Amino acid sequence: MVSEYSESRQVQRQLYQSKKARRKREVRKEKTGVSSIAMNLVWLVLLLIVCIQGSTEAASRPAVVNVGAMFAAGSINGKVLKIAIGAAGNDVNADPSILGKTKLSISFHDSNYSGFLGLIGALRYMESDTFAILGPQNSVMAHILAHLANDLRVPLLSVTALDPTLASLQYPYFIQTAPNDQSQMAAIADIVSYFGWSEVIAIFTDDDNSRNGVAALGDKLAEKRHKISYKAVLPPDPTPTREDVKKLLIKVRMMESRVIILHTFSKSGLLVFDVAKELGMMESGYVWIATTWLSTVLDSTSPLSSKTASSIQGALTLRPHTPDSKRKRDFIARWNELSNGTIGLNPYGLYAYDTVWMLAHAIDLLFEQGGSIAFSNITSTGPIGGLKGGTLNLGALSIFQGGKLLLDNILRTNTTGLTGPVAFHPDRSLLNPSYEIINTNENGYQTTGYWSNYSGISLVPPEKLFNRSKANHSLDTVVWPGGTTVKPRGWVFPNNGEKLRIGVPNRVSFRDFVSRTSGTDVVEGYCIEIFVAAIKLLPYAVPYRFVLFGDGLKNPSYNELVNMVASGKFDAAVGDIAIVTNRTRTVDFTQPYIESGLVVVAPVRGSNSAWTFLKPFSSFMWGVTAFFFLVIGLVIWILEHRKNDEFRGPPRKQLVTILWFSFSTMFFAHRENIGSTLGRTVLIIWLFVVLVINSSYTASLTSMLTVQQLSSPITGIDTLITSTAPIGFQIGSFAQSYLVEQLNIPKSRLVPLGSPEAYATALKDKTVAAVVDERAYIELFLSENCKFSIRGSEFTKSGWGFAFPRDSPLAIDMSTAILTLSENGDLQKICASETSDIVSDQLQLQSFWGLFLIAGAVCFIALLIHLFSVLRQFKRHTPEAEDHSEPSSHGNISSRSTLTHLLTFLSFVDEKRDESKRNKSKRKRNESVVPNVNEKEDDQSVRSASKRIQINNSQEMRRADSDTWPTPTT
């Protein structure tokens, strides 16, 4: 039973599971059918949507898109633009991937340099449902048409109307598709800064384009601390007359600057160069920088006439830089076929070609976006007829409904064209504009470098420049007007026949620095010598005259002197003028030629130390004095050694004698007696020198040790500020304003002082506790007043320089000259000659060199006389020694070597001379000779007697000199 039950339960379970599985299959099948039906419905809906959209798009795309183009067909750029735009339109229509079956229709209008015809042409385009207008060519018309474009929502795209003001938000529908003059003027400003010119002259046409471009140039130059010194305006087109240009350039030639920026059009520009060549303004010294108009002439007009090529030699110009690419090379190869060889291609043709493609892509995107291509008419204001070729009906003007979307599509362009990457910044300026810097020469022109807004000036193209290292920040060699490669100075003195007026302070104190020679107008002093030496180093002549400033009764105000330079009453100021902040705001200073900060001088207690006794003499003076003591001792020993027993003995004793005798003369305490006349002469002169040295030393040391009466608690500027004592300052210096304005010292504490004598009197009388003045003045004051001293260190750091008007190029050249003086040592020599008496209170060798010279000369003469005397005695004794020697050895004596003779001479010099024995020997010899001479014998007796006398005489001499005459050895 159990087994049957379990079997029945198992069968039921299997039946249940099979029913459950079948039910799942049925449910899954139902779901699959529903999902397939849903998918079919979705595909059907999508297909309907695509078909509807395609039919709508096909219906919304017109068969033709009208685009207008405006330019002056007779101009260089007009010819190039017409060819480039026509080629681009054909290439767009030949590419079905751009507009599909829609054709781009570009109509051309010749404005013929006329603003009126340009306006009429634009209005006609507005009547004919035009999507966009390529143009106008010049900025004058662009300012007018931009307002119309704003109202009718028709984008204007121009590659040649490059006025920087047209990029403003005032003209949202005007787009510059080539780099505008803002970037071009930034490039010119960088070139001016690179060559170090401070001022330029701008020659430009008096229209919106040139005028606003020069305004942008002025802003870019100001950013680099340069400026336009003169603006010369040319009459607008049509081309100005030759006489107008000549009058203008004669005025320019009278100006100081020689750097000329020429911003105009091709016809006017070439005329300016031609007249400049005639006036000698294309010679050495001039710099001409032309804007891009000249590069378009070089590119599109070939070959240039010999006259034109000669007139522009040495000029610099800019050309928009377009990176090399295969598409660009292919288009350049096509150009001769497109232009039939009538004109050359310039970069603006490339930008025009890219502009057409940019517009075509934007229109194509407009169609894809389903943008409105409808035009709505504005309210009619009545017909205006009478125009050749038709009537003008302002009521027919229409607003482009899709203009805003088309404008946005253009500004969002991000592609690559013949000119490289094509994209716009948020301010609607082109991405990374760049230029080639071109130098015209006798062979045509050469590229000397590049400029871009992100890399600046460089030798390599910007697209190949990966860093802004200084090695790249340079230009190739430039051939300037006149054929020179030497960078022009860029300025000359104006041709007005007047000398520079140099203001000089008429000081009444510290006249060593700058002063007027009494009774004359001659100015002299340390500062004047520096100025004259520096101006002689300039590579050009500078005519100048000094003009005294001040009444001569008190020191003038230096702030007033500097302000007179800033106002133009003086062309420069020379003197002890401190370079301080408030003065640098109005004038330019040269490199400081002397460092001089403010210091505090006050009475102080004498500072005595363990080595004070060494201070009266300088170290060099001590050394020379010690040297002469030793020299005198040695000279006296040489003169007395042969005759004076006190200067003889063992070597050690003689050395001690020399040293003792030398230094004992300092106190006149020498014990040795001097026997020779020469020794006494030398000693007398030396004792006189010692007397003078001792007296000077005693007086100086006494002064140092006894100047202790006055003392001051002032230890520096900090203690001076915290005290309430009065402070002295020099009249006319900047010390007063600094103490009041910077240190907040009450003006009531300040006491004006006019001279070093007033300093000393005020400090001694305690009228002031201290004097604050510049270090240069204080050092001169302390050279004559040893009772005062500088307390603390300098609390300002400044210097003296020469003042010139702001942006004066002479200030830069004079700074260079001052640095040259410093490097070659001339500045230090002038300083030393002016301040040789300001060094210290120590006694220098200069005060005693005359005495030392006399003592040295006497020693030299005495030694010379002594040497001649010894040589004479040595010669006298040499024959006696030879006669006394054996005959057989006579040959050996005569063949003695030079060394033996020298040793013999030294032995002779070292011997002691006994004058009493020598005199006795001479008397005996004379007594034995006289009787034999008086006897009258025959010749044989005389010869025998003479021989005996010689033998006796020789024996006596040997006995007399046995104690001193050494036996020579061979």
Note the pLDDT tens digit of each residue in 147-187.
989 989 999 999 999 999 998 889 999 999 999 999 999 99
The residue extents of the domains of the chain are 64-177+343-385+392-422, 181-325+434-464, 500-596+802-832, 612-708, 712-797
Length of the chain: 970
Which superfamily does CATH assign the domain made up of 64-177+343-385+392-422 to? Response regulator (3.40.50.2300)
What CA–CA distance (Å, rounded) separates 944 from 955? 17
DSSP bridge partners of 105: 66
Q: What stretches of 225-315 adopt beta strand conformation (E)? A: 227-234, 259-263, 287-290
Give the 3-state secondary structure of residue 538: coil
Instruction: Decide which of 3.60.110.10, 1.10.357.10, 3.40.190.10, 3.30.930.10 is the CATH code for 500-596+802-832.
Output: 3.40.190.10
Q: Please state which of the ranges 384-388, 444-448, 463-467, 829-833 shows the lowest mean pLDDT.
A: 384-388
Please provide the DSSP assignment of 123-154 as one string: HHHHHTT-SEEE--SSHHHHHHHHHHHHHHT-
Tokens of 761: 């009197």
Helix axes 139-152, 115-127, angle to 10 degrees: 20
Q: What is the predicted pLDDT for the residue at 710?
A: 43
| pLDDT value of position 964 | 38
Model pLDDT, residue 697: 78
Model pLDDT, residue 238: 72
- Please tell me which residue, 888 or 902, carries the higher pLDDT value: 902
- Tell me which DSSP letter residue 593 carries: S
- Per-residue pLDDT reduced to its tens digit, 673-717: 776 777 778 778 878 888 888 888 787 777 666 654 445 678 888
CATH number 3.40.190.10 is the correct assignment for the domain at 712-797? yes
> Mean pLDDT across the chain, nearest whole number?
80
pLDDT tens track for 820-866: 998 888 888 776 655 444 444 566 666 677 777 887 887 888 778 87
Alpha-carbon distance of 633 to 629, in angstroms, equals: 6
CATH code of the domain occupying 181-325+434-464:
3.40.50.2300
| Three-state SS sequence of 6-57 | HHHHHHHHHHHHHHHHHHHHHHHHHHHHHHHHHHHHHHHHHHHHHHHHHHHH
Does residue 388 have a pLDDT over 60?
no
Report pTM.
0.63
CA distance 874 to 906: 10
Cα→Cα distances 722→50, 597, 682, 766, Å: 92, 21, 63, 18
Identify the residue whose tokens are 């601390």.
Answer: 225
Q: What contacts 967, CB < 8 A, 6 or more positions away?
A: none
Q: What is the mean pLDDT of residues 544-556?
A: 89
Do 64-177+343-385+392-422 and 500-596+802-832 have matching folds?
A: no
Query: Out of 54-63, 123-132, 604-613, 736-745, which region has the weakest mean confidence (pLDDT)?
Result: 54-63
Residue pLDDT, tens place only, 201-211: 999 999 988 99
Tokens of 170: 């005032």
The stretch 104-125 carries a mean pLDDT of 84
Asked if 821 contacts 827 with a C-beta cutoff of 8 angstroms, the reply is yes
Residue 663 pLDDT > 50: yes
- The CA-atom distances, in angstroms, between 370 and each of 174, 357, 363, 411 are 24, 20, 11, 18
Model confidence at 775: pLDDT above 50: yes
Neighbours of 258 (CB within 10 A): 23
User: Model confidence at 446, in pLDDT bands (50, 70, 90)?
Assistant: very high
For residue 893, the model assigns a pLDDT of 45
